Amino acid sequence: MRNLAEEIFRESARLKLAFLEGHVDLMVRAAETLASALRGGGKVLLFGNGGSAADAQHIAAELVNRFLLERPALPAIALTTDSSVLTSISNDRDYAEVFSRQVEALGRRGDVAIGISTSGKSASVVRGTEAASGLQMCTMAFTGGNGGKLASLVDYAFVVPSLSTPRIQEVHATLGHVLCQLVEAELFGTP
């Protein structure tokens, strides 16, 4: 058991460092884009399924409440939380439209959409991202493997080079924290 625990941590650390090497400049540009959108009155819409839904909610909470700094709230909405909207769209239309319909209702040019899918193949996340693009929103993807269809649709594609869902999600969590901290630093300075 000890060896397995050590290997899991080592694999996660190796993957995070490999991801950093290929994405650090993209992270900085994405954070600058997020800060610019928020400074200009835009908001961030986040969405994903399962663990990726939890990641969307986590990032939204860090932006709305605080990350490291006591500062004004930043407008971010996880499109994964309103059970009445989610079940209505799923029942009356199709689950694949669960995020696209909300993006149509809430998104506008000047906003940023962040779609999260470890495979990049989730139909609901792909459609939500396509809806955001149609509204001329800036689009970002947190994904893994080869990025799937999702990576080809966005302005900023963060593709974790792994097929392991847990390891991809661990990188996504760190990526979310990095973006939140960089946005806070850009808008409000450092602690």
Where are the chain's structural domains? 2-188
Q: How confident is the model at residue 190 (pLDDT cuts 50, 70, 90)?
A: confident
- Alpha carbon separation from 141 to 6, 9, 85, 171 (Å, rounded): 30, 25, 23, 13
2-188: CATH architecture = 3-Layer(aba) Sandwich (3.40)
pLDDT at 191 over 80: no
Question: How much of the chain, in percent, has pLDDT values that exceed 90?
Answer: 98
Residue 100, burial from CB neighbour count under 10 angstroms (0-12, 13-18, 19+): buried
**CA gap 147, 141 in Å, rounded:** 9
pTM: 0.96
**Sequence letter at residue 38:** L
Mean pLDDT of 116-143: 98
Residue 109: name the closest of 19, 49, 42 by CA. Answer: 42
pLDDT of residue 32: 98
pLDDT in tens, 61-91: 999 999 999 999 999 999 999 999 999 999 9
